[in-house]
Each structure stands twice: as C-alpha cells, then as structure tokens.
C-alpha cells in the first residue's frame, strides 16, 4: 500500500470510512486492557513466590556477621545484601547503601537532601535563586515529577539511539552553575529501550561542571533486564569511569529488585563514591535507624548470588519476550510501510516507544481509550507533560497476557491509522 501522505483526498476519505467501520467493530467488544505502566504480570510475580518460604519462625535470622536482622542496626543494609546488589550494579559493596523497596523513593530523598542540606557541604538548593536539571527526552515521567515537585527548572535534552545529545549536555553542565543534575536511564532506557554508547558514558564521566554540586542521577533500573539470551546490551561502568576522569563524586547510581522479585516488596539501593555514601549516611542516621533487614536477608537467601539473579531474570525474559514480540510484529506488519509512525525494537527493559505523525499522539491515546485500551498519557514522557511535537507514546507490554497484547496491539494500530488519516484530512 502507498504511504498515507501519498494518498489523494478521495483515497483518504475512503480509507477513513473503512477504518471507522473497524473502529465500531472493536468498540462492540468492550475490551478492558491496560498498557499504561510497566507492571510485571501475574506469571512474573509467581516466579518469586518461593522466596516467602525461605524464612519462617524456625529460621536463622542472623547475618553472616552474626547481626540479628530482627533488631536495630546495619543502617547501610546487611553486608550480604549489599554484596548481592553491588554485583548487580557492577560496583563494590562499600559503595552501596541498601534501603527499602523503592529506588524512586531513594531518588526523591536524594533530591530532598540536596534541597535541604546541600551536597557534601555545598549551599542547600533551597537557598539558591535557581536550580536546573537536564532531562533527556523522551524519558521517565516519575523522574520529571520529582524535580517538578521541588520547583526545579527542567530542560529538555534530545535522546538519540546512543544516548542524550552530549554536545548540549556539555554546553549546559560545563557553563551554567545553576545546572545541578541530569536524569539518566542508561540501559534499556525508559521508554525508548536504547542503551548509552561507550562514547556517551565517557563524555559523561569527563564533564567539567560549573557547579561543584552537580550530580548525574544514573537510574540503572534495567541493568539485568534482558529480553534475549544472546543479545545483551553492555554499557561502561559510570562510577569507574568517573573515578578515572577525576570526578569520583559526580554520580549517584540507583537500582532495585522491583521488577526482579516483588515490585512492592523488593530491595532498592544507591551506589556512589565513598565520600558521597558517607555524607548520605550522616543524614540518614537522623532519618531512620534502618530499613527492613529481614526482607534483605530473604532476598539473599533466595537468590544467593549474581548467578542466581541472572538465572531468575532469564525466567522473566521468557515471559516478557512473547509480549514484546506480539507488539513489534503487529507494528511491522500493519504500519511498516505506511509512513505514519516509527518505533525501536528494544533488547531489554519494559517499554516500547512509538512516535506518531506530529500532532497525533494525544488523539491516538484518546481513541485507544474509547476502545478499552489504556495507554500512558501522551506527553507524560516529557517534563511538565508537554511533548512539543505531540508524537511520543509509551507502550508497556508487561502486564497483559500475550493474547491480550495481541488484541491491544490490533487496537493500537487501528487507532494510529485512523488518527493519521484524520490528521491528513485536517479534521483535528
């Protein structure tokens, strides 16, 4: 079939009539499918259920150092859990603090500490006239919500298949002392699925910030979340590269087991330089006496080591892969030659990003909702919810079953076609 842009008005009108008829057929099915957030499906949650049997009333509750996990102590997390998560994050145990169940919570607290107390002795951000953050786009909506809530000015940085536009990053970071941070999802990025190139990571590590308290917020949420056994993206270790470049304190790394064990009951961690870790602990010691060490012990006893984590993640990928492929195959078969959308086939992570014709994303999401398919709000992948071109849509295939994903994908491509035709006809 010809590309939609090459069709005559008469051909577009005829196609619209056909698509509207299909739309009514789908509407009659009364579907209720949710692709809005990257929630693990039930089959994935079942994988970790044996973890609940690892500890019982008769279990040894002591760490390998003999500390009782039922009691106070181990502010930075029990040693064996720090070792396990450090291996996942590819850092050393001493560079890690294991906290509660949510890395988002740690990121929020890290920004809050900077606002209230400053970064390692620098002026608290709340006392500054202006604080700015760089935001690679499209990006993770919850990152942007954190900085927005604290009144931090957010600056869009275009994201390519190799990472953020580093010319722009260097221009802002190296010249503007008000720029205090940048959000990054470096591996299987949310929502595009891309991974940062070696050159990108090296340029990050070699930044020369105008602000002494500038930090890279390196959210490595999908560090071991591969979809394929033989195709794993590999990124350079940012902490190591920062040390080599003479910027040991410039990065905070975040990760969790939220999409490995249980999203609501995993363990989350921050990794950074020894200097940063000590400063964080100095403030944390007033905030809390410690996190859930029993849960930390449970995770260690269940996974044992990095090999156990990787073996568990292979089970996840076997569940996720058919769902992703159901979407990608439908996109290629139905939209591949029409010139009305582009997408990236990720090798890991939790999302597929779709870019429509300019001005169509909100319409597509609204049409899908009419047919019972809920997507992330158009614009959510940009700061302040404002996608300048109204093109980006985040698809989350993980929660529905493969069969439901096939149905949802069919609805999605129908709505893309209908919105595109109506846009070309000037109807919105």
Model confidence at 405: pLDDT above 80: yes
| Percent of the chain at pLDDT exceeding 90 | 97
Dig out the tokens for 272 from the structure.
């950074």
Closest CA relative to residue 399, chosen from 97, 129, 35:
35
**Architecture of the domain made up of 61-304:** 3-Layer(aba) Sandwich (3.40)
Dig out the tokens for 338 from the structure.
């029409």
Q: What is the pLDDT of residues 117-145, one digit of tens each?
A: 999 999 999 999 999 999 999 999 999 99
Domain 4-44+313-424 of CATH type 3.90.1150.10? yes
Q: How far apart are CA 151 and CA 129, in angstroms?
A: 11
The confidence band for 409, taking pLDDT boundaries of 50, 70 and 90, is very high
Rounded (10°) angle between helices 306-335 and 293-303: 80
Model confidence at 153: pLDDT above 90: yes
Instruction: Look up tokens 């692709």; give the residue.
Output: 35
- Whole-number pLDDT of residue 354: 97
Closest CA relative to residue 183, chosen from 169, 198, 199, 197:
169
What average pLDDT score do residues 202-213 get?
98
The H or E element spanning position 367 is helix 361-370
- Whole-number pLDDT of residue 116: 98
Rounded to a whole number of angstroms, the distance between the first and last alpha carbons of the chain is: 24
Q: pTM value?
A: 0.97
What are the boundaries of each domain within the chain?
A: 4-44+313-424, 61-304
The confidence band for 402, taking pLDDT boundaries of 50, 70 and 90, is confident
The confidence band for 356, taking pLDDT boundaries of 50, 70 and 90, is very high
- Whole-number pLDDT of residue 307: 98
Dig out the tokens for 115 from the structure.
């606002």
């Amino acid at each position: 079939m010809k590309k939609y842009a090459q069709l005559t008005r008469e051909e577009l009108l005829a196609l619209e009539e056909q698509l509207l008829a299909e739309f009514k057929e789908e509407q009659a099915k009364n579907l209720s499918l949710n692709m809005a957030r990257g929630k693990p499906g039930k089959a994935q949650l079942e994988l970790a259920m044996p973890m609940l049997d690892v500890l019982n009333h008769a279990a040894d509750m002591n760490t390998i150092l003999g500390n009782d996990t039922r009691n106070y102590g181990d502010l930075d997390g029990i040693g064996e859990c720090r070792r396990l998560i450090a291996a996942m994050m590819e850092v050393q145990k001493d560079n890690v603090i294991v906290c509660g169940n949510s890395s988002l919570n740690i990121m929020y607290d890290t920004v809050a500490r900077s606002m209230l107390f400053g970064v390692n002795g620098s002026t608290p951000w709340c006392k500054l006239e202006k604080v700015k953050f760089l935001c690679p786009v499209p990006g993770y909506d919850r990152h942007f919500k954190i900085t927005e809530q604290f009144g931090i000015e957010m600056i869009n940085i275009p994201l390519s298949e190799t990472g953020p536009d580093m010319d722009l990053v260097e221009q802002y970071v190296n010249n503007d002392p008000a720029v205090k941070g940048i959000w990054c999802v470096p591996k299987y990025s949310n929502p595009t699925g891309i991974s940062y190139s070696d050159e990108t990571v090296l340029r990050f590590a070699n930044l020369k910030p105008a602000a002494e308290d500038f930090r890279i917020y390196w959210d490595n949420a999908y560090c071991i979340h591969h979809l394929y056994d033989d195709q794993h993206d590999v990124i350079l270790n940012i902490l190591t590269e920062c040390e080599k470049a003479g910027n040991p304190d410039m990065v905070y790394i975040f990760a969790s087991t939220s999409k490995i064990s249980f999203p609501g009951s995993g363990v989350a961690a921050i990794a950074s330089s020894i200097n940063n870790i000590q400063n964080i602990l100095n403030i944390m010691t007033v905030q809390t006496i410690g996190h859930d060490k029993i849960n930390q012990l449970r995770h260690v006893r269940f996974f044992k080591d990095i090999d156990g984590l990787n073996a568990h993640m292979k089970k996840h990928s076997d569940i996720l892969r058919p769902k992703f492929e159901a979407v990608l195959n439908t996109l290629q078969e139905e939209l591949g030659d029409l010139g009305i959308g582009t997408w990236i086939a990720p090798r890991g992570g939790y999302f597929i990003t779709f870019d429509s014709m300019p001005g169509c994303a909100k319409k597509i999401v609204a049409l899908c909702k009419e047919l019972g398919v809920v997507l992330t709000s158009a614009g959510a992948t940009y700061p302040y919810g404002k996608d300048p071109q109204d093109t980006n849509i985040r698809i989350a295939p993980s929660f529905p079953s493969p069969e439901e994903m096939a149905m949802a994908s069919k609805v999605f491509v129908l709505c893309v076609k209908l919105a595109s035709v109506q846009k070309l006809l000037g109807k919105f």
